[in-house]
Amino acid sequence: MLSTTIRWIAILAILLTSSPGWAGFNLLDDGVGTKAVAADGNLTYALKDNGNIWMRADGRWQMVDDGVGTRSIDACKGHLYAVKDDGSVWARNCGAWKRIGKPGTNQLVADGDILYTLESNGEVLLYRDGQWTRIDNGAGTRMITADKTSSDIRLFVLKNNGNIFQYVGSNVYGGQWRIVDDGAGTKQITAGGNCLFALKDNGNVWRLNGQWARIDDGVGTKQIEADDNYFFALKDNGNIWCYASERWAQLDNGVGTSMLNADNGTLYVLKNNGNIFSGYVPSLLNSVPWAPESVRVNQFQKLHGQ
């Protein structure tokens, strides 16, 4: 009997350390066909391949949009936004959908009661209180991101030439642009906790926190995500790493992860099979070891490593 018990304990340990939720993740959805996830507090949204949008609240899923042709979604402070295939923008508030933007939007970022959009012509628009304002009429913008944890307006744009600009101000009409990186080779940016993170073509990750410093000199990173005081890196092999308190910790050594989303201290993981997992980051960090700094991190005080 003892040997049988020991055997089952060993099997259980293997399962816990090899399953997608080995580090304390919870399975939110075991369905298929999910291509994007957005979160807003206790609400989780799943965008399906057929264009349907589902919302998870109080432990239950319900469909909130049975339409087709939805390209992307984002949510914040009780608002859900969707971009259709034609680039039109729709908003859901108090259970009702309303079209708020004409066709031509490539990307949107929700930040509190403000919505930013990147248009196909390179313009960046700001939407608030039913009014659109153009805040950048430039061209060559690849992507936009916003620091949702900042009390001020903190929007960043990544240009095709690798330059990064910041739009900062205390109100929507008083913002100003300033360049924060004139380098090249940046393929993705994300912001959170009053920091900006840049993923380079060579896999290196840099953080702007007053000054630039390289926090990861590894390779094979395919997505970066930031939230509050946590930064996440999704590797090509499916591993998920978290950078917090100037240290790295591996949250998941599984495979088949397609994207990450973080909100209010919770990490959401979308798998290739459509499953959605979530984990409260402080609890996740308490259950995994920190990596030695020499393994993952070399500090540099200049962006390009001179």
Secondary structure of the chain in HEC code, one letter for each residue: CHHHHHHHHHHHHHHHHHCCCCCCCEEEECCCCEEEEEEECCEEEEEECCCCEEEEECCEEEEEECCCCEEEEEEECCEEEEEECCCCEEEEECCEEEEEECCCEEEEEEECCEEEEEECCCCEEEEECCEEEEEECCCCEEEEEECCCCCCEEEEEEECCCCEEEEEECCCCCCEEEEEECCCCEEEEEEECCEEEEEECCCCEEEEECEEEEEECCCCEEEEEEECCEEEEEECCCCEEEEECCEEEEEECCCCEEEEEEECCEEEEEECCCCEEEEEHHHHHHCCCECCHHHHCCCCCCCCCC
Q: What is the pLDDT of residue 172?
A: 61
23 confidence band (pLDDT: 50, 70, 90): low
Q: What is the rounded average pLDDT of the residues 157-163? A: 94
282 confidence band (pLDDT: 50, 70, 90): very high
248, two tokens: 């790295």
Tell me whether residue 305 is in a domain. Answer: no
Q: What is the pLDDT of residue 67?
A: 85
Tell me whether residue 303 is in a domain. Answer: no
Q: What is the rounded average pLDDT of the residues 200-209? A: 93
Which one, of 52, 59, 24, 58, lies nearest residue 274 by Cα? 52
Residue 47: how many other CB atoms lie within 10 Å: 22
Tell me whether residue 10 is in a domain. Answer: yes
- In this predicted model, what pLDDT tens digit does every residue of 286-296 receive, in sequence order? 988 888 755 44
- In this predicted model, what pLDDT tens digit does every residue of 207-262 receive, in sequence order? 999 999 999 988 899 999 999 889 999 999 899 999 999 999 999 987 889 999 99
Tell me whether residue 302 is in a domain. Answer: no
Q: What is the rounded average pLDDT of the residues 90-112? A: 92
Tell me whether residue 104 is in a domain. Answer: yes
Q: CATH no. for residue 261?
A: 2.130.10.30
Q: Per mean pLDDT, which range of 15-29, 126-140, 235-249, 262-276 is the poorest? A: 15-29
Tell me whether residue 304 is in a domain. Answer: no
High-pLDDT (> 70) share of the chain, %: 86
Tell me whether residue 277 is in a domain. Answer: yes
112, two tokens: 């509190």
Q: What is the rounded average pLDDT of the residues 162-188? A: 86
Tell me whether residue 8 is in a domain. Answer: yes
Q: Which residues contact 11 (CB under 8 A, 6 or more apart)?
A: none
The tally of CA atoms less than 13 A away on the side-chain side of residue 148 is 27
Structural domains in the chain (count) = 1
Amino acid at 129: D
Q: Which residues contact 272 (CB under 8 A, 6 or more apart)?
A: 256, 257, 258
Euclidean distance between CA atoms 135 and 14, whole angstroms: 53
Q: Whole domain around residue 15: which residue ranges?
A: 2-296
